[in-house]
C-alpha cells in the first residue's frame, strides 16, 4: 500500500489476553480478528480517500468519495471501541490483588460503576437491542453517564470520554453463549474487567488519548 505520510494505525497486540473467566480464548480471537479488520480498513480507506481527493475535486457530486467519507466514520468508530474492549480486560489471575485500604475503596467505587452500567440491561435482558453499552464521562460536568449505542458510528456523544465499553452484539458472545444468554455473558464480562484501566481513563484528559 502506498503511503502519503498521514497517520497509519497499527493493531495493538493482545497476545496475553488468554484464560479469561467465562469468555473463551476462541471468543477473544474472534474479537481480535474484527479489531484487526477495522484497523486494516481504516488504513486503506484513509489512503484511498486522500488519493480520491486529489483526482476528484467536487466531492459533493462524487458519490464514491461521499460514501467513502461516510464509511470512514464506520471503520474508525469500529476500531476505537473494539480496542477499548480489549484493553480493559484481563485474566483474573493477572488482576492486581485488591487488599490495601486504597484498593478496597477503589473496588467499592468500581462496583458502583459496574452496577450503573449493568443496571439498564438487567431489566430487559431478553429483548435488549442495544449493541454497545458505554459508560462515559461528560467532560463538562464530570458526571458518569450510561449511553447505549446501537451502531458504533452513530450516537456517541461528541467529546465524551468512554470509560468502560461493553460490546453486546451477538458476535461478541455467541461462540460461548446462546443468543438468549446475553445476561450470562455480561456477568462473565464484569469478572474480567481490569478496573485500573477504567480508572486510568477517568484520570486522563480526553485530548491526550491515542486513537488506535
Ligand atoms: Fe463488536
Series of mean pLDDT values for 10-residue runs along the chain (212 residues): 62 92 96 95 93 75 86 91 90 66 63 60 45 74 77 79 85 92 85 84 64 52
Report CA(156)–ligand 1 centroid distance (Å). 15
Report CA(7)–ligand 1 centroid distance (Å). 24
Q: What is the pLDDT of residue 194?
A: 86
Q: What is the pLDDT of residue 33?
A: 95
Report CA(167)–ligand 1 centroid distance (Å). 5
Q: What is the pLDDT of residue 37?
A: 95
Report CA(32)–ligand 1 centroid distance (Å). 10
Residue whose C-alpha is closest to residue 11's, from 80, 68, 73, 77: 80
Report CA(66)–ligand 1 centroid distance (Å). 25
Report CA(202)–ligand 1 centroid distance (Å). 23
Cell of residue 158, nine digits? 461528541
Report CA(6)–ligand 1 centroid distance (Å). 27
Report CA(203)–ligand 1 centroid distance (Å). 26
Residue whose C-alpha is closest to residue 156's, from 164, 147, 165: 147
Report CA(54)–ligand 1 centroid distance (Å). 34
Report CA(100)–ligand 1 centroid distance (Å). 35
Q: What is the pLDDT of residue 202?
A: 79
Report CA(129)–ligand 1 centroid distance (Å). 14
Contact 209, 80 (CB under 8 A): no
Classify residue 77 as exposed, middle or buried by CB count within 10 Å of its CB (0-12, 13-18, 19+). buried
Q: What is the pLDDT of residue 113?
A: 64
Sequence-separated (6 or more) residues with CB below 8 Å from residue 44 = 1
Report CA(25)–ligand 1 centroid distance (Å). 16
Residue holding cell 455467541? 174
Report CA(58)–ligand 1 centroid distance (Å). 35
Can you give the pTM of this predicted structure? 0.79
Report CA(69)–ligand 1 centroid distance (Å). 22
Amino acid at each position: 500500500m502506498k503511503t502519503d505520510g498521514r497517520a497509519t494505525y497499527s493493531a495493538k497486540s493482545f497476545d496475553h489476553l488468554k484464560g479469561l473467566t467465562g469468555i473463551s480464548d476462541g471468543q477473544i480471537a474472534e474479537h481480535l480478528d474484527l479489531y484487526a479488520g477495522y484497523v486494516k480498513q481504516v488504513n486503506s480507506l484513509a489512503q484511498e480517500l486522500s488519493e480520491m481527493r486529489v483526482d476528484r475535486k467536487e466531492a459533493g457530486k462524487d458519490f464514491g468519495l461521499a460514501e467513502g467519507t461516510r464509511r470512514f466514520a464506520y471503520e474508525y468508530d469500529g476500531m476505537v471501541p473494539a480496542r477499548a474492549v480489549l484493553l480493559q480486560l484481563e485474566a483474573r489471575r493477572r488482576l492486581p490483588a485488591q487488599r490495601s485500604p486504597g484498593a478496597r475503596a477503589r473496588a467499592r467505587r468500581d462496583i458502583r460503576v459496574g452496577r450503573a452500567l449493568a443496571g439498564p440491561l438487567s431489566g430487559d435482558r431478553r429483548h435488549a437491542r442495544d449493541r454497545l453499552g458505554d459508560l462515559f464521562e461528560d467532560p463538562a460536568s464530570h458526571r458518569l453517564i450510561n449511553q447505549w449505542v446501537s451502531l458504533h458510528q452513530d450516537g456517541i456523544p461528541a467529546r465524551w470520554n468512554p470509560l468502560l465499553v461493553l460490546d453486546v452484539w451477538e458476535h461478541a458472545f455467541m461462540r460461548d453463549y446462546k443468543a438468549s444468554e446475553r445476561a450470562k455473558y455480561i456477568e462473565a464480562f464484569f469478572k474480567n474487567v481490569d478496573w485500573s484501566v477504567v480508572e486510568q481513563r477517568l484520570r486522563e484528559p480526553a485530548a491526550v488519548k491515542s486513537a488506535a
